[in-house]
Homo-oligomer: A and B are copies of this chain.
C-alpha cells in the first residue's frame, strides 16, 4: 500500500470521528473508505475507470458494504452510539 507522506488531502474530513447524528456518521464511514482508495490509487482517471466495475459487480458491492460496516462500527463507538438525544 502506498505511503501517505505529505498527503494533499485529509484521510478523515474534519479530523474527527465525532458527528452530530448517526446519518452523518454513516456518511463519514463511506467517505473514509473512499479516501483510502484515493490514497492507494491517487490517479483519478484510474479511479473513474474502476467505478463502474465495482458498481455493477454484486460481489464487490457486498464487499463495500462490509468495509463501510467496519468503519461505521468505529465511528458509532466513538460517538457512544449517539445514545444522548442532545446534539453535540
CB-based contact A30/B58 at 8 Å: no
CB-based contact B65/A33 at 8 Å: yes
Interface SS majority for chain A: helix
Range for the number of chain A residues in contact with chain B: 35 or more
Neighbouring B residues of A34 by C-beta, 8 Å:
1-3
CB-based contact A65/B65 at 8 Å: no
Contacting residue for A54 out of B21, B30, B62, CB 8 A: B62
Contact A36/B15 with A30-B4, A69-B70, A73-B74 known, Cβ cut-off 8 Å:
no
Neighbouring B residues of A12 by C-beta, 8 Å:
22-23, 26
Tell me, in angstroms, the Cα distance from A50 to B68 when the chains sit together.
20
